Amino acid sequence: MSNTNFWFATQVDRDYKTLKYGEGHPRLYYNNSDDYVLIEGVSYENDILIVKDYNNKLYILEDEPDNTTFESTLHREWKIKEQTHKQLWREDLYDYEPWAYNSKISLANELKFYNQDKKIIAYYGKEYLI
C-alpha cells in the first residue's frame, strides 16, 4: 500500500504521445509525473480515496491532486505538441488534450464512490460540472 502525497489523475480520450485511444480508465500519475498507472476505485471514506492499479497495488489519496504540476508538465507538453500538430489533428484536436480530475471528489465520482447533492467541477480548468 502506498500513501501518495503527490498525485494527479487524468481522463484521456486519445493519447497525444502515442496517438492511440485512451484505455477507458483514469490514469494516476504519482511521485513522478512521467509515470502513470490505470486505476480502479477501492473505497472513499472519511475524505480518503483508495484506488488500485491492475497489479492490485493500492494507492491512498489523502491530499488533493497536484494540478499545478499537471499544468506545468503533461498539459504544457500537450500545448507544445498541439501547436505543431494542428493541421494533422484538425477536428480531433481537442480529443488529444489530457484533462485532469479537478479534485479528489471528482475522481471519486468517476470511480462511482461519491454521489453529490450539489454540482462539482469535474475537470481542472474546465467549466464541466457533474
Residues 6+ apart with CB under 8 A from 87: none
Distance (Å) of CA 70 to CA 4, 30, 53, 56, 82: 15, 11, 20, 25, 16
Distance (Å) of CA 84 to CA 13, 88, 126: 19, 9, 23
Query: What CA–CA distance (Å, rounded) separates 49 from 129?
Result: 20
Closest CA to 66 of 14, 103, 91, 96: 103
At position 108, the amino acid (one-letter code) is A
Residue-wise pLDDT tens for the chain (130 aa)?
656 678 999 998 888 788 788 888 999 999 876 789 999 999 999 999 999 999 999 999 999 999 999 999 998 998 888 777 666 556 566 677 899 999 999 999 999 987 777 788 899 988 766 6
At position 36, the amino acid (one-letter code) is Y
pTM: 0.86
